[in-house]
Amino acid sequence: MKIYGHEITSRLLLGTAQYPSPAVLSTAIRESGSEIITVSLRRETADGTGAGFWDQLRDLGCRILPNTAGCHSVQEAVTTAHMARDLFDTPWIKLEVIGHSDTLQPDVFALVEAARTLADDGFQVFPYTTDDLVVGEKLLEAGCEVLMPWGAPIGSGQGLRNPDGLRAMRAHFPDVPLIVDAGIGRPSDATQAMELGMDAVLLNTAVAKAGDPAGMAKAMALAVEAGRAGFAADPMERRDMAVPSTPVLGLAALS
């Protein structure tokens, strides 16, 4: 998988929030095999512990994808992105512009505007968006080279609420990296996303809030691998009727 010219081996991206301890976070990231981890600027600077948290992430050797979590306007998101670029020394930014407080659904109008502003300023934008094809086209026109459609509301663990929409995105954008972001709750959800042809999944709460975060991180990594292998193997189509696996023609007729 190539994202903004970088080859990425792992198709599981992992968030770094809500873990019970720094040690558990580090173990979970290692078990996941993730090469890209997301970090909120607000998490990094909270409680005066930012420096230690950043040192911990740097020691893991992963590529950092800062995000604009919690932003509700174009200006807020753009300002946060600039602060993150200065702090993490990367042009990558996961762009979130929230439009609805209950569902945390992205404000797609503000998202496109912010994406264009940041892309024009040299950022490489990873937009958290819906599965709307028109919005996807607008984001690509704005300068994005990857799309991150949600599977379900952030932190809900509901899985893929609109698999047909994601399937349509894959068909409509065959050459664009598609990363399902938000809603993954179980390994089976991750496998389903990959079987639909998604290039990767990004998740946080499903691992951080599991009884065994490290065990769940490993399970998610295996699920992503299985789903990708299944998609690559070109699975059979669903059928409305039963079809015998043993042919009837050619069987001996016993009296």
User: Does 183 appear as a known binding residue?
Assistant: yes
Q: Which residues pair with 255 in a beta bridge?
A: none
User: Does 204 appear as a known binding residue?
Assistant: yes
- Classified as helix, coil or strand, 39 is strand
Q: Which two tokens stand for residue 79?
A: 């300002």
Active site residue 138: no
Catalytic site residue from 94, 138, 209, 218: 94
Instruction: Give the C-alpha separation, 25 to 12, whole Å.
Output: 15
Instruction: Give the C-alpha separation, 159 to 184, whole Å.
Output: 5
Instruction: Give the C-alpha separation, 180 to 198, whole Å.
Output: 7
121, 163 contact by CB (below 8 A): no
User: Does 67 appear as a known binding residue?
Assistant: no
Q: Which two tokens stand for residue 23?
A: 């040690």
> What's 78-135 look like in SS3?
HHHHHHHHHHHCCCEEEECCECCCCCCCECHHHHHHHHHHHHHCCCEEEEEECCCHHH
3-state class percentages of the chain: helix first, strand second, coil last, to nearest 5: 45, 15, 40
Q: Which two tokens stand for residue 147?
A: 């799309």
| Burial (CB count within 10 angstroms: exposed 0-12, middle 13-18, buried 19+), residue 83 | middle
User: Does 61 appear as a known binding residue?
Assistant: no
User: Does 122 appear as a known binding residue?
Assistant: no
- Which amino acid, 253? A
Residue list for the binding site: 155, 182-183, 204-205
Q: Which residues are catalytic?
A: 94
Residue list for the binding site for 1-deoxy-D-xylulose 5-phosphate: 155, 182-183, 204-205
